[in-house]
């Protein structure tokens, strides 16, 4: 059986990013979400795109989503 591919795109501020010497990449909430999903749904393949940026404002996130839409709005094979 072929695994269903599910793409998750995270848009957030620095709370979703690692911080050298303080928060390692595996301890970020997006990575913890991905790990939990992989355990709960092993029959699927998850792809995580973290498009977060430190200090980003909500209107900048909205602009980033609009900009990214054409790249991430298609099914992944």
**Residue 16 pLDDT grade (very low, low, confident, very high; cuts 50, 70, 90):** very high
In the beta sheet, which residues pair with residue 6? 46
Per-residue pLDDT reduced to its tens digit, 21-68: 999 999 999 999 999 999 999 999 999 999 999 999 999 999 999 999
Global pTM reads 0.80
pLDDT of residue 67: 92
């Amino acid at each position: 059986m072929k695994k269903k591919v599910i793409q998750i795109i995270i848009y957030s501020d620095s709370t979703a990013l690692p911080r050298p010497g303080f928060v390692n990449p595996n301890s970020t909430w997006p990575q913890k979400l991905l790990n939990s999903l992989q355990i709960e749904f092993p029959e699927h393949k998850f792809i995580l795109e973290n498009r977060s940026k430190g200090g980003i404002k909500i209107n900048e996130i909205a602009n980033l989503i609009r900009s990214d839409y054409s790249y991430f709005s298609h099914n992944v094979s």
